[in-house]
Structure 1
Amino acid sequence: MSWTLPSRPSRRTLLAGAAGAAGAALLTGCSGDLPTEATLTIPLERRMRETAVRDSTRLLERYDATAAAHPALAARLAPLRAAVAAHAAALSPTRSAPPSPSPSPSGGAGAAAPAASGEPVPPKPDEALTALADAERSLSESRTIDLAGAPGELARLLASVAACGAVHAYLLTSTPGATS
């Protein structure tokens, strides 16, 4: 005698499935309310903001490490660093004050101080500026990609911050005082 699969589920299978679904609903505390767009957007926006602040904080640490390794660049980097700190404050879900500069350790020019990311600051000032410009450019590109999934107001803010980062990359690699 050969055994064949039934063409439809048995009553026992249907009852077990219904009992399982009812148990799952009870365990999850189903309130009957459907999630609204606002309740789905808030957690996503908060996560995106927290990531953006973390990325800006890492960039601030790179600025600090570069200024500490090359004190002659500190004045040139100060306004760019201040803008990155303002970006971190604007992106923060809690809107806190911008991070203040870290106290610079004593280190002469040419010292290869490690940035917070673990990457050492290049020993030559031009190379250090190029590395910082690369970090700005990379973060700008990442934020541009993030625009696609960001809610309206955050998308506009990310677009502005990404554009500013692209300008920073240009300013870091251009020759100060040169005209084109």
Structure 2
Amino acid sequence: MPWTLPLRLSRRSLLAGAAGGAGAALLTGCSDGGGSSDTDTRVPLERRMRETAVRDSERLLERYDATAAAHPALAARLAPLRSAVAAHTAALASADTAPRKPSGSPSPTSPVSPGASAPAGAPAPSREPVPPKPDEALTALADAERNLSEARTIALAGAPGELARLLASVAACGAVHAYLLTSPQGDTP
């Protein structure tokens, strides 16, 4: 006897089928549509994450430059930390995400426009004005380091292996920078 489909569907099976179809449509809408493997989809994700990390590091470099320009007496104290941020920028940049501007030396002559805004979701430490008092400027710079460190720690969850390790290292260094910026000079922990 040949098997035949029932002519009448129950309400439950009809709703289950509709829900399954809607779920499949949603999942299809969230993918790139190429049906590629996980390895293929990680490359663009890693590139986007690296570009964001490089852009954020460049903004932090701008913040260091603006602080050193506004408070020349702090320049010597900020130089080693700025140098480390420049090294982080270079390490985060791959061949596809090279830094847009040289990060070897401070450029206090390039002011940051106060009206400019950062892309949504990205930390923008360089868009804030430098406080007039040196202690407040150091605190603001430490806050920028801390915020970026926290953002990078959160980004670890979606980062591919090698980039996740690099982001973790750079985030830890940023947390140390925040501590060093707010600790009294000459005191040892």
Work out whether 1:163 is the aligned partner of 2:168.
Answer: no
Q: Which residue number corresponds to residue 22 of structure 1?
A: none
Map Cα deviations across residues 90-145 of structure 1 (whole Å, 9 max, x no partner).
0012275761334334xxxxxxx969833110000000000000000000000000
Gaps of 5+ in 2: 1-7, 10-32, 115-123
C-alpha RMSD of the superposition: 2.6
Work out whether 1:125 is the aligned partner of 2:125.
Answer: no
Q: Which residue number corresponds to residue 157 of structure 2?
A: 148
Matches within 5 A, 1:35-46: 35-46=36-47
Q: Is the 8 A contact 1:132 1:172 kept in 2?
A: yes
Work out whether 1:62 is the aligned partner of 2:71.
Answer: no
Letter in 1 for 2:104: S
Gaps of 5+ in 1: 1-6, 9-29, 106-112
Q: Which residue number corresponds to residue 88 of structure 2?
A: 87
Q: Is the 8 A contact 1:62 1:116 kept in 2?
A: yes
* TM-score in terms of structure 2 length: 0.70
Q: Which residue number corresponds to residue 27 of structure 2?
A: none
Map Cα deviations across residues 11-48 of structure 1 (whole Å, 9 max, x no partner).
xxxxxxxxxxxxxxxxxxx99xx412211100000000
Question: Which of the two has higher C-alpha Rg?
Answer: 1
Secondary structure of the structure 1 residue equivalent to 2:126: coil
Q: Is the 8 A contact 1:64 1:101 kept in 2?
A: no
Identity value in percent: 73
Q: Which residue number corresponds to residue 103 of structure 2?
A: 99
Q: Is the 8 A contact 2:125 2:144 kept in 1?
A: no
Map Cα deviations across residues 136-176 of structure 1 (whole Å, 9 max, x no partner).
00000000000000000000000000000000000000011
* TM-score in terms of structure 1 length: 0.73
Letter in 1 for 2:36: P
